[in-house]
Chain A
Amino acid sequence: MKSFLTLLKNELKLNIRNMNMVIFAVIMPLIVLVILGFLNGTKPAAYGVEYTFMEQSFGALCTISICAGGLMGLPLVVSEYQERKILKRFQVTPVSPIKLLAVELTIYMIYCLVSMITLILVAMIFWKVTIHGSWLAFLGSWLLTMISTLSIGMMIGGIAKNSKSASVIACLLYFPMLIFSGTTLPFEVMPEVIQKIVRVFPMTQGIQLMKATFLGLTVDNIKLPVIVMGTVTMLCAGISIKYFKWE
């Protein structure tokens, strides 16, 4: 445990020094929130609904940092450490691959958490955003979305040939998820075929679930998102541990 914390402390310091994630996972979501806030203020999401536009968008805003960490940060760090033979140095120490992966995973979870907390504070203070559903259900769906997306990132980083191909694969996943999963375009306006395809993205399921739990809407089928996200997590985490390469 002590070695986990020491590794975490040092790796987190390095990651912050690099600034990429601070910008993309913490500052950028905040900028988007502020822009949306100025555009929409506290007006309701649609005529006659109880919740505001900001409240409706809150779940999706939380996924910006999840996307940045899981589909850009984590795969690049893992593949870069392989390519630069940093992991090879760890290979001749007693550390276990699972511990190293867990350290990197935790770093990106910290970013997502920091982002979520800053978003909710700013949204509550300036645009009177309140949760209509339950905190517990919202945090649960946030956690599931985050873990499943980060596990995809970890797998890409682990199995990609080099950091270049990791970055290509990550982009190929990042942008469709960002565009089609409802982070930017509302899910409902997309053609049915695309809806069907993007339904298997954990991000799509996650955003739907986060939105519903935040707004206190009834979820018709809670099993589907939980199953999709759970399966993705198990599969990706399993693959990244099984096919872990030191170099």
Chain B
Amino acid sequence: MEKVIKVDQLSKTYGNLLAVDNISLSVKRGTVFGLLGANGAGKSTTIECILGTKQADKGQVSILGYNPQKDRRKLFQKVGVQFQECDYQPEIKVSELCEETACLYKTPADWRELCSQFGIGNKIKNAVKSLSGGERQRLFIVLALIPNPEIVFLDELTTGLDAKARRDVWKILSDLKKKGLSIFLTSHFMDEVEVLCDEICILKKGKVVFYGTVEESKVVSGSKKFEDAYLILSDEEVDRE
């Protein structure tokens, strides 16, 4: 199967801290890839180095055959991104933010439809800052889907959402996956990862400590529940130390 994201021996240091340590991974078209790890394990830095918003010290990245830094403008016609910490203009309304995003793409999706799919269709005229945390999170997923992307990057996609909203988001993402969308996500919710991800990669202190499917992780760690498997695998090195 075609690989839409290829990362080879990626490394990034901040001063003395090795934030990303020789990571290699790849994502197949139409699959969901989950990057997991505790806070500070290097997930966000890895995503940023893959997207080219941070300069890696070493390693190669290719997304849809493009170099994210050199071919930025071509690449982001086809790739949607939701960052963990990103802001919006102080007084902006939902409709304005969506319109401003949609106008940047050649063939954008209908953002009104996306908003109603994600349950914020009645909030279009509201100021973004007046939305609740969960509504804002859903808006940022909408923004990432506006390009009609081939790949979408979602950093902590359902943080701040209630149980019902999370299920709704899973459903929409699963449907989009069936239509061929590839998804690269990070999450702290193992139930979500288990439902959505075809492959996972667990990071600890910038290193890959597990890479495979959810089922494989259960086998390797000898646990029945995926959450236990995750905890065992992500703490593996502590036990050895």
Q: Which residues of A contact B (CB under 8 A)?
A: 2-3, 6-7, 10-11, 13-14, 17-18, 81, 84-86, 88-96, 246-247
Hey, which chain B residues are within 8 Å of A91, CB to CB?
Answer: 53, 72
**Inter-subunit contact B96/A13 (CB<8 Å):** yes
**Inter-subunit contact A86/B73 (CB<8 Å):** no
Hey, which chain B residues are within 8 Å of A17, CB to CB?
Answer: 91
Is residue B104 contacting chain A, with contact meaning CB distance below 8 A? yes
Q: With A10-B99, A94-B105 as known contacts, state yes or no: A88 contacts B53, CB within 8 Å.
A: yes
**Inter-subunit contact A6/B103 (CB<8 Å):** yes
**Inter-subunit contact B86/A85 (CB<8 Å):** yes
Q: Which of A2, A6, A18, A95 interacts with B91 by CB under 8 Å?
A: A18
Is residue B196 contacting chain A, with contact meaning CB distance below 8 A? no
Bound Cα distance A85, B48 (Å): 13
Binds A, one of B9-17, B74-82, B169-177, B202-210: B74-82
Q: Which residues of B contact A (CB under 8 A)?
A: 51, 53, 72-74, 76-77, 79, 81, 83, 85-92, 96, 99-101, 103-105, 143, 147
**Inter-subunit contact A94/B96 (CB<8 Å):** no
**Inter-subunit contact B53/A92 (CB<8 Å):** yes
Tell me how far the C-beta of A221 lies from the nearest C-beta in chain B, rounded to whole angstroms.
44
Hey, which chain B residues are within 8 Å of A93, CB to CB?
Answer: 76, 101, 104-105, 147
Q: With A10-B100, A13-B96, A96-B73 as known contacts, state yes or no: A86 contacts B88, CB within 8 Å.
A: yes
Hey, which chain B residues are within 8 Å of A94, CB to CB?
Answer: 72-74, 76-77, 104-105
Q: Is the interface of B mostly helix, strand, loop or mixed?
A: loop
What are 12 contact pairs spanning A and B, CB under 8 A? Answer: A6-B99, A7-B100, A10-B92, A10-B96, A14-B90, A14-B92, A85-B87, A92-B53, A92-B81, A93-B105, A94-B72, A94-B104
**Inter-subunit contact B99/A86 (CB<8 Å):** no
Bound Cα distance A185, B100 (Å): 43
Residue of B nearest to A93 (CB): B104
Q: With A6-B99, A92-B53, A95-B104 as known contacts, state yes or no: A14 contacts B89, CB within 8 Å.
A: yes
Tell me how far the C-beta of B27 lies from the nearest C-beta in chain A, rounded to whole angstroms.
17
Hey, which chain B residues are within 8 Å of A10, CB to CB?
Answer: 92, 96, 99-100
Q: Which of A6, A13, A89 interacts with B83 by CB under 8 Å?
A: A89
Q: With A92-B76, A94-B105 as known contacts, state yes or no: A14 contacts B87, CB within 8 Å.
A: no
**Inter-subunit contact A14/B83 (CB<8 Å):** no
Tell me how far the C-beta of B228 lies from the nearest C-beta in chain A, rounded to whole angstroms.
35
Bound Cα distance A5, B92 (Å): 17
Bound Cα distance A98, B87 (Å): 21
Hey, which chain B residues are within 8 Å of A81, CB to CB?
Answer: 89
Residue from B51, B88, B90, B103 with most neighbouring chain A CB atoms (10 Å): B103
